[in-house]
Amino acid sequence: MKVGIIGAGMIGETLARRLAQLGHQVAIANSRGPETLRDLASEVGATAVTAHEEARSGEVVVITIPERAVPDLPRDLFAAVPAQVVVIDTGNYYPSRDGRISAIEDGQPESAWVAEQVGRPVVKAFNNIFFKSLLENGRAKGTPDRIALPVAGDPLEARAKVLRLVDELGFDPVDAGGIDESWRQQPGTPCYTQDFNAMQLKSALAAAVRSRVPEYRKAADDAAKAFFRTEPDR
């Protein structure tokens, strides 16, 4: 497939590298322009482009940037982009990094908020795994205790395409429902960054309690504060 990636942080770089290794045509963009990505793109086997070019690069577009940066994406980013192009959101909301986002604090699932900002349905995936595990721990289908990843979003056809992509990358895909259920894989929830197998992941998704989302978020945010002080902005 042709895959465009907006964001060159750890998850964006890792997805670009792994997808290129699998033979996909990968275009990558950031907020500072393609000239700042030439070396990385050459290293991982991708093409550096602008965000507008990336959104028109093919069948799948991956948005993998901090939540605080989502409103700064071009307002016409997906203008004239065909409806069948799938948009994946890998993002997570951390107030200590992103500032307070009232809609999310009031209970809106993070990726539902992202979908509103970009004016397109999104599928939430790759948000609950550390980049190193995503890079190194993919395994062949049928491998015992293969790590599983949840995929939540609408419409069903878009979710199905992302489920197949997860499998191709070496992880058991778990259908986590529509975008309204995506809160179950947000930071701090029972499934977050646990590298569970499929059975364990399904149990963890079911164990999440919506009324505890603020508690989950605070625990994850407190744990991540030291990291965010040193995180490079790409």
pTM of the model: 0.96
The per-residue pLDDT for range 47-56, each reduced to its tens digit, is 999 999 999 9
Beta bridge partners of 87: 61
Per-residue pLDDT of 2-15, as tens digits, reads 999 999 999 999 99
Residue type for position 180:
D
Residue 184: the pLDDT is 98
Residue 195 Ramachandran class (φ > 0 left, ψ -120 to 50 alpha, else beta): left
Residue at token pair 């508690």: 215
Task: Tell me the per-residue pLDDT of 162-212, one tens digit each, with 9 for 90 and over.
Answer: 999 999 999 999 999 999 999 999 999 999 999 999 999 999 999 999 999
Q: What pLDDT is recorded for position 230?
A: 63
- The per-residue pLDDT for range 62-118, each reduced to its tens digit, is 999 999 999 999 999 999 999 999 999 999 999 999 999 999 999 999 999 999 999
The strand pairing partners of 89, in sequence order, are 63, 124
Residue 231: is its pLDDT beyond 80?
Answer: no
How many whole angstroms separate alpha carbon 183 and alpha carbon 31? 27
Q: Alpha-carbon torsion 152, 158, 160, 163, what sign?
A: negative
For 36-45, what is each residue's pLDDT tens digit?
999 999 999 9
